Amino acid sequence: MGTMALAKYGIDVHQLLGLHFFLAPSFRLWQLVTYMFLHEGFQHIFFNMFAVWMFGRIMEVQWGYKRFLWFYIICGIGAGLMQELVQLLQYEITLASLGDEITPQLIQKFREYMNAFLTVGASGAVYGILLGYGMTFPDNQIFIIPFPFPIKAKWLVIGYIVLELGLGIRDSAGDNVAHFAHLGGMLAGFLMILYWRHKERKDNHIKFTW
């Protein structure tokens, strides 16, 4: 509703707050945070928020709301950075394929063309939460449609990693899904959990030695 109301005043919220390629004219640094609070339609936001409710509420109880909030935001930023890296690789590969035809004017036009590509949604942060759940409760049994039997959380996480990696490499044209951004959110979550565990072991060792 807010998006529609602002559109009446000529303000395109998705263009302003959605994540653009960092070499495109419309890129702003804040978009690495704001993009995860925008969604493309009801179905997009419903499934993301359902996953946050399903797994996030458990992790918030486990970690506390401050740590959980930071985890969510950092995973979202990590997903955005991964998306930027993938777009940079696509950008460089495309320019390299042009060979001697490259001119400053052509590069500028291509950057303006890249400006049309926009990333929105909390999926990267959600995948980070799923990764956190799988690392914290690896043997918990989960029922996931369409499987008629429970799956351990660790196998569900590994399955999603393999699936997203395969879809990202295949680059399934037309699905409009940032598969590598999902992996970026999981990678950021993995690194954060490793850091926390290392810090906790270090703190416990200090307490023990004293």
Read out DSSP for 152-187?
A: EHHHHHHHHHHHHHHHHHHT-TTS---HHHHHHHHH
Q: pLDDT at position 58, please?
A: 95
Mean pLDDT of the chain: 87
Structure-block tokens of residue 60: 């918030």
pTM of the entire structure? 0.87
Q: Domain spanning 2-204: which superfamily?
A: Rhomboid-like (1.20.1540.10)
Q: pLDDT at position 106, please?
A: 78
Q: For the segment 152-185, what is each residue's pLDDT rounded down to a tens digit? A: 999 999 999 999 999 988 865 456 788 999 999 9
| 93 vs 82, more confident | 82
Structure-block tokens of residue 199: 């810090």
Q: pLDDT at position 96, please?
A: 81
Q: For the segment 23-56, what is each residue's pLDDT rounded down to a tens digit? A: 888 999 999 999 999 988 888 899 999 999 999 9
Closest CA to 124 of 189, 171, 63, 68: 189
